[in-house]
A and B are shown apart, each in its own frame.
Chain A
Amino acid sequence: MKITDAAVFPYPNGDTSVRRFALEAGALGFDSLVAIDTPAATYGDVEVKSGILFHDLPVKDIINRMKRFRGTDAVISVKAGDGGFNRAVIGMKGMHVLRCVHAADKNAFDHVSAKMAADNAVAVDIDLSVITRSRGVARQRAMVRYRDILVLEQHYEFPLTLSTYARSVLDLRAVREFSGLCSLLDMDLAVVEKALGGIGAVTTPPVPAVREVS
């Protein structure tokens, strides 16, 4: 299992080069990163996976754009929208991560979406930057949403991912800090460990139910 930060934004989207991100992430205890709009590479011991993030697009456009990345190693993610939108994108072939669920409508990710996510091996991302950067009501609302997602996760067992949404090395957090921040959501260590390896779980092709024996 590779410990992965599921979303960072290297230069030009942020102020840190992808190599520096990899160097710092390695020092903070990570094995891999998902770098949005950046080609995949390996720097030192840290694997950088290419990440694609679709946001504010209609379902039709997402389907068309997703075709381009099918079969590649890119981690494809979509920003959550309303309930219908989320169900549509979770059902898409090649979809990996549903992001920003905390910012979507209250009922945008319900038990039906949770069941679909579990069946299609689509992860739901927990954006820790909301907890570190925001204060007051905004943080409280996000924490309520995440707790709600965790209740569904316990029941349906869909994959989770954890991300910092770092645009700078200053936004990165150590693995130990991840577990401290997740403890605020009542996530125990086993769930945190599983979520840190969530990207590996959704990008690894599923084991076929039937195996051909020659």
Chain B
Amino acid sequence: MTVRPPTLRDKRRYLVVRVDPPGTPVDQKELYYAIADAITALYGDVAAAVMIQAVVAAEGDYVFIRCRRGTERELATALSTITSLRDTRIAVRIIAASGTLESLRERIRAIPLPSLPEGENPDVLFDKKVFTPVYGNGQKIDVIEKGFKNTHRYFLISEDLEST
């Protein structure tokens, strides 16, 4: 099939979103199905067919989502109803919308990469319990309670931590 000339193609818009909590492994296909499910549940199949959403790329914590121009608002609302990916709790934060992927890439390039400092990250004390830090960005610190089988993440800031 030959490619349509630009004037006959659908106009598209791209959204860049951040998947929280940071460090969550994002499988594009799983996220696509989560978004499709959210749109269908909220607006129905007819609106979903109009939106023709697609997950274009996932780069670190950022994901690029495509939709038909004029449906960004509905897509953004549907994205805010996504609360989990498989069994992992997530939140999808919309960063920006644009007509080209390149401008969105420029936008996320300007955001500094957060991470814990290199080397050993010592355990921290909060509410008289010992936690292991898993993520840090400025004041923010995400921790997991130390112990067998503990995977629940707690969201704190450095001021919450008790001195050992």
Residue numbers of A with Cβ under 8 A of B are 11-12, 15-17, 19-20, 23-24, 131-133, 135-136, 139, 168-174, 176-177, 180-181, 183-184
Contact = CB atoms under 8 A, between A and B. Distances in A.
Interface in B115-144: 126-127, 139-140
13 contacts: A11-B127, A16-B154, A23-B140, A132-B80, A132-B81, A133-B83, A169-B21, A170-B91, A171-B91, A176-B94, A180-B77, A183-B77, A184-B77
Contacts of B80: 132, 173-174, 177, 180-181
B42 interface: yes
B20 interface: yes
Contacts of B33: none
Q: Tell me the dominant secondary structure on chain B's binding face.
A: mixed
Chain B interface extent, by class: 20 to 34
Contacts of A23: 139-140, 157
A19 B139 CA distance: 10
Q: Tell me the dominant secondary structure on chain A's binding face.
A: helix
A172 B91 contact: yes
B146 interface: no
Most B Cβ at <10 Å: residue of A176, A180, A181: A180
Contacts, number: 74
B54 to A, nearest CB: 20
B76 interface: yes
A176 B91 CA distance: 15
A19 B81 contact: no
A169 B155 contact: yes
Contacts of A173: 80
B20 A170 contact: yes
B97 to A, nearest CB: 11
A132 B84 CA distance: 11
Interface of B: 20-21, 41-42, 73, 76-77, 80-81, 83, 89-91, 93-94, 126-127, 139-140, 152-157, 159-160
Given A181-B77, A184-B77, A20 B155 contact: yes
Nearest to B37: A135
A17 B89 contact: no
Nearest to B159: A19
Given A20-B157, A169-B155, A170-B89, 8 more contacts: A20-B140, A23-B140, A23-B157, A170-B91, A174-B93, A177-B77, A180-B77, A180-B80
B25 to A, nearest CB: 16
Counting from the closest, the 3 A-B pairs by CB-CB distance are A180-B77, A16-B155, A177-B80
